[in-house]
Structure 1
Amino acid sequence: MSRSVPRTGVRRYVNVVNLGGLLIAGCATLPLVWMASASLKGPGEISATPPTLLPKDVTLGNYETAFTRNGIGHYFLNSVVVACLSTVLILSLAFFAGYALARMPLRGRGPVMTALLVLSVFPPIALLVPLFLMERQAGLLNSYPGLVVPYVALNLPFAIWIMRNYLSGIPGELEEAAVVDGAGPLRTALTVILPLARPGLFTAGVFSFTATWSEFLLALTFNGSDDRRTVSVGIALFTSQYQVPYGVIFAGAMVATVPIAVLVLIFRRSVVSGMTTGAVKG
């Protein structure tokens, strides 16, 4: 009897935790379900009272309008180019910077890590005016580099933080064996450490891609031209002076959400592994 009581308590605790997890997942999923449902409704059903969770008459007219009249496909392509270029540059720089902070005998490593953490939470709006003046002076407005450069600068500190913490958990004996075999620092980093750092790279990549994909303020300020407008800004400008096409906006939002959802589903295990290692390593 004395052993069954603790087991019963543990089971109740696990059940409560599972129930709480299901409630949280349901609350987080409900807005996405509502958005997907509304994107398949006509204008009359979207504004109906009481509202309906599932569409009675499914229509793809909102998606057709978003692609043919509002140019969501062009905005989507612009976001893909900007987010992919930014993510590749961020990961390339973050890997080598994180490797140096994790392995090289550098002085002031603690202050550098503190500075990276502070910079990772620095509000971009505080840099909006000076960045705009610098980009106008350099002729980068309404161009892909005009967004890629500030995105890399703003998201690189957090990526370096993740990579440094993850690389610190890789055993140093592997590098010592590579040095004995005659490999230099660069070859060791690329052939020995880089394959083992994939979970950390996936974690930093998902966070960087998500941040650059969904960023709005800098994209609205620096790329006002319709040719270089990203998907987040394009959806915000779907509204007109006399009406708000909610169905078309929901359809555009679903199109913009798909890449992030697919990315997280594909790399979910690597992301969890990378975040767990980064949480326990100093």
Structure 2
Amino acid sequence: MTTFGRRRTVWLAALIVAANGFIPAIWILLTSLKTESELMRMPITIMPDAPTLQNYVRVFVDQPILTFLWNSIAVAALSTALCIVVSALAAYALVRLRLPAPGAILSALLAVAMVPLISLVVPLFQTMRTLDLLNTWPALVLPYAVLSMPVCVMVLVSFFQDIPNDLENAAMIDGCTRAGALWHVVIPLTAPGVFTAAILAFVNAWDEFLLALTLSSRVAKRTLPVGITLYQGEFSFPWPIISAALVVAIVPVCVIIAVFQDRVVGGLTSGGMKG
């Protein structure tokens, strides 16, 4: 294949991926600006005839979406912080300490990541009920952190391997402990990888539905994905209102990715070059 052909193939693949991500989001946004009668009208129209923000008003009036939003932000942020701390320690141990069969440990982590989530629901529910943690943030923070750890550890291992031992040795000669060398030398030098792992953990916790539905039955403790289901009735699905709620749920993640775009892209690019 010629260089032009390869370039055209890459652009075509990128266009397909972009369309797969953007078209559903644009469709949801346009749906949120329609009335329910317009949405049900045939033939289907793409653009709303008379865009309205009434659906967004009802999103904040009909259900306590600010409570759902706060729960999601708190749970995702806490689980991400816990996941990154533990993953950084685990990745550092696999790279720097003389552990037996580090490759086998990474393979085991990958195997754990492939376990279907639905198979863990009953054991987690029983565990949280025994610990009296149902309908609390820790009931979600702890599982989310653990579920994201395998991917975060593998991401951080690929970055830690490129940090020369001499830098840590120099820091320890100057008085740093090994933990101090990790936090003051290794982590700053691998900031793109840390941000990449953090974004992956945060999005995983933000989007999770099954555990949030199972472990939080009280309305005041529900996260945004579960709270959005409350907008539907027993026999009705107000899609414009649900679409408006989905837009509200998408915005925080878009803001985070936009703010940390350079670091995330740098981390993904570096990881791809290493791979």
- Mark yes or no: TM-score above 0.5: yes
Structure 2 partner of 1:3: none
**Deviation of residue 140 (structure 1)?**
0.3
> Which residues in structure 2 correspond to 1:3-152 (within 5 Å)?
9-152=2-145
Deviations 1:21-70 (A, max 9, x none): 23432243111111000001111111121222221111111111111112
Q: Matched residues in 1 for 2:195 and 2:105: separation?
A: 23
Structure 2 partner of 1:233: 226
Q: 1:166 aligns with which of 154, 159, 170?
A: 159
**Deviation of residue 178 (structure 1)?**
1.8
Give the TM-score normalised by the residue count of structure 1. 0.91
Q: Matched residues in 2 for 1:207 and 1:96: separation?
A: 18
Q: Matched residues in 2 for 1:232 and 1:217: separation?
A: 9
Task: Indicate the larger mover: 173-182 or 139-148.
Answer: 173-182
Q: 1:253 aligns with which of 234, 240, 246?
A: 246
Structure 1 partner of 2:188: 195
Q: Does structure 1 conserve the Cα–Cα contact (< 8 Å) formed by 2:63 and 2:230?
A: no
**Deviation of residue 184 (structure 1)?**
2.1
Q: Matched residues in 1 for 2:137 and 2:16: separation?
A: 41
Give the TM-score normalised by the residue count of structure 2. 0.93
- The one-letter code of the counterpart of 2:171 is A
Task: Indicate the larger mover: 210-219 or 269-278.
Answer: 269-278
**Deviation of residue 12 (structure 1)?**
4.8
- Determine if the alignment matches structure 1 residue 243 to structure 2 residue 243: no
Deviations 1:227-278 (A, max 9, x none): 1011000112211123211111000111111122222233333223323444
Distance 1:20 1:163, change over 3 A: closer
Q: Matched residues in 1 for 2:267 and 2:20: separation?
A: 26
Deviations 1:193-231 (A, max 9, x none): 111121111111111001100100000000010010110
After TM superposition, the runs of 4+ consecutive aligned structure 1 residues lying more than 3 A away are: 275-282
Q: 1:180 aligns with which of 173, 185, 200?
A: 173
Q: Does structure 1 conserve the Cα–Cα contact (< 8 Å) formed by 2:62 and 2:231?
A: no
Structure showing greater Rg: 1
Deviations 1:51-106 (A, max 9, x none): 22221111111111111112222111110110011001111111111111111121
Query: How much identity, in percent, do the aligned residues show?
Result: 37
Structure 2 partner of 1:274: 267
Q: Matched residues in 2 for 1:87 and 1:165: separation?
A: 19
SS in 1 for 2:231: coil
Q: Does structure 2 conserve the Cα–Cα contact (< 8 Å) formed by 1:62 and 1:248?
A: yes
Task: Indicate the larger mover: 209-218 or 43-52.
Answer: 43-52
Q: Does structure 2 conserve the Cα–Cα contact (< 8 Å) formed by 1:102 and 1:165?
A: no
Q: Does structure 1 conserve the Cα–Cα contact (< 8 Å) formed by 2:56 and 2:241?
A: yes
RMSD: 1.8
Q: Does structure 1 conserve the Cα–Cα contact (< 8 Å) formed by 2:28 and 2:243?
A: yes
Q: Matched residues in 2 for 1:253 and 1:129: separation?
A: 28
Q: Does structure 2 conserve the Cα–Cα contact (< 8 Å) formed by 1:41 and 1:247?
A: yes
Listed as ranges, the gaps of 5+ residues in structure 2 are: none
Distance 1:44 1:259, change over 3 A: same
